[in-house]
Structures are given as structure tokens and as C-alpha cells.
């Protein structure tokens, strides 16, 4: 007892951070942990990006050029896993850590030590996953969706490390999500009712709920794989009465909510940014909340639209087709609200706004191709082609990743107290915009013409579009080094930002100085 009490004697003087590496390893501060998440995610973004460039270099010409097909498979698999679990998800958790306590007037996250644990599991999990690249049998090579029996009967032995890596990163996500929910529900300043919360907080509340609901299902499905591989069960083996299709059902029950986990926080970011640069209130706040909730609900009953060609009863095909199309309704509400917010606004186009507007336009393209894929009979043509690759990269790159870029440019001055270089920011935007569209737009065409995904070689007729895509990929990839430069330059030598940063933005985070002090809102602030 006394030893414990002693360690709290200095609890009243903990206003500044600790020095050196201990600050980052032992920290319980939401801002430190947010920073850790964001840097980790950026490192993973570059790692996964390099893998994408290996893929695009190989596909620059038909025929086998640079890598062995086995290694190509490892690259497609690891690229997907790293971008989904290592880049996009941690970036959003990092933003949540930085922003949610400041937006709701909380002193920190609800469970600060667990918050640190959620982060520090990730470097170990991804070191384990990446180490498989250097093992004798090579990294997992069965695609990021790891369908059985490719990932069980025919998998390299490194699949075991992949499974355990997924287990611990899942634990990290669940703890992170519990922390976010507890923070939002319990630590809001008393006058901030639920319907007064900023939309970023709302979308994260719903995202956290989705995470807690589906990460355990992912843990369940990889556990079944583990048992099939090492302990002789027959979940995914028809010889024992199981079914490989069972894998796909359980996986996509996780996987479809997962894609909304990767987009809802971006919806929230864009809903914060567009009103600021339109100098208007967000159009249809209440409908935004209900639309987000509807999307989350629908995400649980549409999973089998990923599996139209696997062999389902007709009733199943029809149900999942119509349920999927329903998602267009709440999503349409959101897009309409963003456009209506801009309508007759006093618009300016600083970098965050450019990213937000590009988000609205390009995410909508990804949404429309999603509707095409939702139509079961035509999906038989599109399934497993580059059209699918084009579709999900349009929702993930200009959707999730542009959302993250927009958020970073918007709040970076609040975090580090300095303004980023607007010219360079715009250059980063336009290069990313051009590079990204060059990469993924031609994939629609080769996909519709029948080029299959995940194959290192292709028919001669697809060569032109593939060359354009590869050039675009290298433009987009190298541009991200510019982003790194801009962020470092802002931190080191940007000119001082004001507390408000922007022109009369809404939200509690703009009422505190820039950079935000190490501890904010130790007593709850007033809200109008």
C-alpha cells in the first residue's frame, strides 16, 4: 500500500511529458498515444505501399518480369493485410486518441493505461507478421481474405504466426474500441448531450461498436483455421462434414462491417471539415447520425454479397443483393448533406478542403461501382476481376486515406502549433489526386474486360491500361514522401498557428491553445 501511495505523491506535478524514450513507451497521455498510432500507421503505409509498387512493377508489362509468382502472391497478401490492419485502422485510432478527448471536453481517454497497451501490441503483431517474409517457407500467400483451404490445407507453415498476429492485433482493436466507447459515453462534458457531439465523435462511437462486434468473430475464424491446421478438426474440410464456404461466411461476417470500420471515421472527418471551409453549419446533422447508424446496422446483414459466385441458394443471392442496395440510401443521404453544406457557402479550398471535396466525389465513384457489384447476376462477370480491385481502392484510397490526409492537414496545426506549408500541401494533394486516379481508374476497364486479380501475368490486350496504372502508382507512392517532408517541416519550422487556426471553426478543440497543452480539460468546459 505505502509503496503505491508513494508513486502518487508527484501526481500533482505531472503537467509535462517525461523525457526520452520513456515518454513514449510508458505514456498514458492520449496525445502521446495518438502520435504513436499516427507515426506507426505512416510507417506501415509506406511498407504496404512498397509492396504495392512491387506488384505494379511486375504488372508494368505482360509476362513474368521481376518477381517469382510465389513472391507476387506474398506481396498481394501482405499489402492488403498491412494496409487494412496496419495503416488505415491505426491511423483512425490515432486520430480518435488525439481528438475525441479534446472534442468532448474530457481530461484524457477513459482507461489511459489500457490505451497504451492497445498501441504497444501493434508493433509486436506487425513485426511478427513481417518476419514471415524472411522465413524459409515465405510469408502468407493466400490473399488478404485468406480463404480456406488455401489458408489451411495448402498454406505455408508461417500461417500459424499470421493467425497469432491477427489474434493479438484483434485484442488491441477490441481494447481500443472499448476505451473509445467508455470515453464517449462517460467522459463528455455534462452539457454535451449525445446529439450535440461533433460528427467525428459520433462516427467513431458507431465504429467502435462495430469493432467490438466483429473483431471477436475474426478471432473465431482464425481459431477454427488454427484447429484445422494443427489439431485435426474439420470446420473447413468437406471430408469431415465441414465446408470451405463456412470460412467465407464467418470471414465476411467480420469483413463487411470491417470495411465500414475503415470508412465511417473518414465520414466523420469530412463532416467536420466541409462546414468549416463552407462557413456554414453542417446540413442535416440529425440525418447524418441516423444515416451512419443505418449503415452500421445494414453492414451486419449484407456479408454474402462478397460470395455471390460461391454457390448459394437463390433466396440467399436475392436477399443479399437487395439488402446491399439498401446501403445506397443512407450513403446517398450523407453525400447529399455534404453537397448541401457546400451549396451557397463561402467556399475556400485549403488543403483539408481539397481532400474533403475529392473524398466526396471519388468516394461516390467507389460507391457506384459498389452498387454495380451488388447486382448478383452481373457480379458473376465482375467477380475476382480488376473491377473489384478498382472498386475497393476507390473507397479506400480517396475514401479512407484521403479522409486521413484531410484530417491530418486540418488538425496538424492544433497538434504541433505550427501551420503547414499551404503550397506544398496543395502540391501533395494534386499529385496524389492525379496519381491515384491514374492508378485505379484504368483498372475498371481491364476488369470489365476480364483481367483477373491476384495474377502476376496478363493477356497482351491489357498492357496499355496496366502501364498507365503502374506509372500512376509510382507517382502516388513517391508523392507520399513529400507528405512526410511536409509534416516534418511543419513540426520543425512551420509558422505559428493561432488557437482557432481556421476561420471560425466549430468545436471545443479550437478553444484551447495551439499546440494543445499536454493536459487539457482537467475540469469539464462549458458548451453552448
Partner 1 sequence: MSTDGYQTYYVPEKSRLPIFMAIGLAVTVIGAGTMMNDLTAGVEDSSAHWVMFTGFIIIAATLYTWFAKVIAENHSGLYSGQLNRSFVWGMGWFIFSEVMFFAAFFGALYYVRNLAVPWLAGEGDKGISAMLWPEFQAAWPLMETPDATQFAGPKEVIHPWGLPLVNTILLLSSSVTVHLAHTALKAGNRARLKMWLAITIVLGLAFLGFQIEEYAEAYNELGLTLKSGIYGSTFFMLTGFHGAHVTIGAFMLTVMLLRAFKGHFTPQEHFGFEAASWYWHFVDVVWVGLFIFVYIM
Q: How far is CA 145 from the centre of its chain?
A: 16
Q: Is 334 assigned a catalytic role?
A: yes
Told to check if 512 binds partner 1 by CB under 8 A, we report no
Decide whether 143 or 525 has the Cβ nearer to partner 1: 525
Told to check if 23 binds partner 1 by CB under 8 A, we report yes
Q: Is 120 assigned a catalytic role?
A: no
The C-alpha atoms of residue 352 and residue 343 are separated, in whole angstroms, by 18
3-state SS class at 457: coil
Q: Is 237 assigned a catalytic role?
A: no
The C-alpha atoms of residue 106 and residue 186 are separated, in whole angstroms, by 9
Catalytic residue among 258, 350, 379, 421: 258
Q: What angle do CA 14, 15, 20 make, to 5 degrees?
A: 75
Told to check if 130 binds partner 1 by CB under 8 A, we report no
The C-alpha atoms of residue 412 and residue 501 are separated, in whole angstroms, by 10
Told to check if 296 binds partner 1 by CB under 8 A, we report no
The C-alpha atoms of residue 297 and residue 274 are separated, in whole angstroms, by 26
Told to check if 349 binds partner 1 by CB under 8 A, we report no
Distances (CA, A) of 514 to 149, 498, 499, 501: 53, 6, 5, 8
Using CB under 8 A, which of 68, 69, 154, 157 touches partner 1?
Answer: 157
Told to check if 380 binds partner 1 by CB under 8 A, we report no
The C-alpha atoms of residue 121 and residue 2 are separated, in whole angstroms, by 31
Residues 217-256 that bind partner 1 (CB under 8 A): 217, 219-221, 223-224, 226-227, 229-235, 237-243, 245-246, 249-250, 253
Told to check if 93 binds partner 1 by CB under 8 A, we report no
Residues 97-126 that bind partner 1 (CB under 8 A): 106-108, 110-114, 116-117, 120-121, 124-125
**Nearest CA-CA partner of 408 in 43, 48, 35:** 35
The answer to whether 409 and 96 are in contact (CB under 8 A) is no
Catalytic residue among 24, 39, 144, 161: 144
* Three cell numbers, residue 488: 516534418
Sequence-ordered list of residues with C-beta below 8 angstroms from that of 358, at least 6 positions apart, any chain: 398, 402, 429, 433
Catalytic residue among 30, 305, 414, 428: 305
Told to check if 524 binds partner 1 by CB under 8 A, we report yes
The answer to whether 440 and 395 are in contact (CB under 8 A) is no
Q: Is 299 assigned a catalytic role?
A: no
Residue burial 310-349, b: 16+ Cβ < 10 Å; e: rest: eebeeeebebbbebbeebeebbebbbebbebbbeebeeee
Using CB under 8 A, which of 49, 165, 265, 435 touches partner 1?
Answer: 165
Decide whether 23 or 281 has the Cβ nearer to partner 1: 23
Interaction pattern, residues 43-82, with partner 1; x per rule: CB under 8 A: ----------------------------------------
Q: In angstroms, what is the minimal distance from the CB of 113 to partner 1? A: 5
The C-alpha atoms of residue 188 and residue 508 are separated, in whole angstroms, by 11
Decide whether 108 or 350 has the Cβ nearer to partner 1: 108
Decide whether 238 or 488 has the Cβ nearer to partner 1: 238
# residues near partner 1 by CB under 8 A: 94
Q: In angstroms, what is the minimal distance from the CB of 6 to partner 1? A: 11
Using CB under 8 A, which of 78, 177, 353, 354 touches partner 1?
Answer: 177
Q: Dihedral through CA 228, CA 217, CA 305, CA 361, nearest 10?
A: -130
Using CB under 8 A, which of 178, 326, 328, 449 touches partner 1?
Answer: 178
Region from 22-30, 270-278, 342-350, 366-374 binding partner 1, contact rule CB under 8 A: 22-30
| E strands in 188-294 | none
Region from 182-190, 389-397, 463-471, 473-481 binding partner 1, contact rule CB under 8 A: 182-190
- Indicate which residues carry an active-site annotation: 79, 108, 144, 172-173, 256, 258, 260, 271, 305-306, 331, 334, 453
Amino acid at each position: 500500500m505505502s509503496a503505491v501511495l508513494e508513486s502518487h505523491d508527484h501526481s500533482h506535478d505531472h503537467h509535462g511529458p517525461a523525457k526520452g524514450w520513456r515518454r513514449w513507451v510508458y505514456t498514458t497521455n492520449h496525445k502521446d498515444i495518438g502520435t504513436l498510432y499516427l507515426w506507426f500507421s505512416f510507417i506501415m503505409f509506406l511498407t504496404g505501399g512498397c509492396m504495392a509498387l512491387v506488384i505494379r512493377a511486375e504488372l508494368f508489362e505482360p509476362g513474368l518480369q521481376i518477381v517469382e509468382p510465389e513472391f507476387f502472391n506474398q506481396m498481394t497478401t501482405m499489402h492488403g493485410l498491412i494496409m487494412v490492419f496496419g495503416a488505415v485502422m491505426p491511423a483512425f485510432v490515432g486520430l480518435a486518441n488525439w481528438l475525441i478527448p479534446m472534442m468532448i471536453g474530457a481530461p484524457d481517454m477513459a482507461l489511459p493505461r489500457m490505451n497504451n497497451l492497445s498501441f504497444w501490441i501493434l508493433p509486436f503483431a506487425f513485426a511478427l507478421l513481417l518476419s514471415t517474409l524472411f522465413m524459409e517457407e515465405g510469408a502468407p500467400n493466400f490473399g488478404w481474405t485468406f480463404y480456406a483451404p488455401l489458408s489451411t490445407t495448402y498454406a505455408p507453415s508461417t500461417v500459424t504466426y499470421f493467425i497469432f498476429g491477427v489474434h493479438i492485433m484483434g485484442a488491441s482493436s477490441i481494447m481500443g474500441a472499448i476505451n473509445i466507447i467508455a470515453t464517449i459515453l462517460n467522459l463528455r462534458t455534462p452539457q454535451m448531450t449525445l446529439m450535440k457531439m461533433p460528427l467525428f465523435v459520433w462516427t467513431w462511437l458507431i465504429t467502435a461498436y462495430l469493432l467490438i462486434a466483429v473483431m471477436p468473430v475474426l478471432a473465431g475464424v482464425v481459431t477454427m483455421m488454427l484447429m484445422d491446421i494443427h489439431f485435426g478438426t474439420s470446420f473447413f474440410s468437406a471430408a469431415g462434414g465441414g465446408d470451405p464456404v463456412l470460412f467465407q461466411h464467418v470471414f465476411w461476417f467480420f469483413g463487411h462491417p470491417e470495411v465500414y470500420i475503415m470508412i465511417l471515421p473518414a465520414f466523420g472527418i469530412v463532416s467536420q471539415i466541409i462546414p468549416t471551409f463552407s462557413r456554414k453549419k453542417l446540413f442535416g446533422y440529425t440525418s447524418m447520425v441516423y444515416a451512419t447508424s443505418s449503415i452500421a446496422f445494414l453492414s451486419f446483414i449484407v456479408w454474402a454479397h462478397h460470395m455471390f459466385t460461391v454457390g448459394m441458394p437463390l433466396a440467399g443471392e436475392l436477399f443479399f443483393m437487395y439488402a446491399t442496395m439498401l446501403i445506397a440510401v443512407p450513403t446517398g443521404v450523407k453525400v447529399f448533406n455534404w453537397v448541401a453544406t457546400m451549396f451557397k457557402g463561402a467556399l475556400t479550398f485549403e488543403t483539408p478542403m481539397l481532400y474533403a471535396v475529392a473524398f466526396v466525389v471519388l468516394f461516390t465513384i467507389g460507391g457506384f461501382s459498389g452498387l454495380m457489384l451488388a447486382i448478383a447476376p452481373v457480379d458473376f462477370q465482375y467477380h475476382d476481376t480488376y473491377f473489384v480491385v478498382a472498386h475497393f481502392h476507390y473507397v479506400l484510397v480517396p475514401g479512407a486515406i484521403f479522409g486521413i490526409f484531410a484530417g491530418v492537414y486540418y488538425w496538424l496545426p492544433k497538434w504541433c502549433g505550427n501551420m503547414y506549408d499551404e503550397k506544398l500541401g496543395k502540391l501533395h494533394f494534386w499529385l496524389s489526386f492525379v496519381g491515384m486516379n491514374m492508378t485505379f481508374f484504368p483498372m475498371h476497364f481491364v476488369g470489365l474486360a476480364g483481367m483477373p486479380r491476384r495474377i502476376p501475368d496478363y493477356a497482351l490486350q491489357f498492357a496499355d491500361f496496366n502501364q498507365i496504372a503502374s506509372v500512376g502508382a509510382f507517382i502516388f507512392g513517391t508523392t507520399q514522401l513529400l507528405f512526410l517532408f511536409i509534416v516534418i517541416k511543419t513540426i520543425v519550422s512551420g509558422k505559428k498557428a493561432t488557437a482557432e487556426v481556421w476561420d471560425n471553426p466549430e468545436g471545443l478543440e479550437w478553444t484551447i491553445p495551439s499546440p494543445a497543452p499536454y493536459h487539457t480539460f482537467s475540469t469539464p468546459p462549458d458548451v453552448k
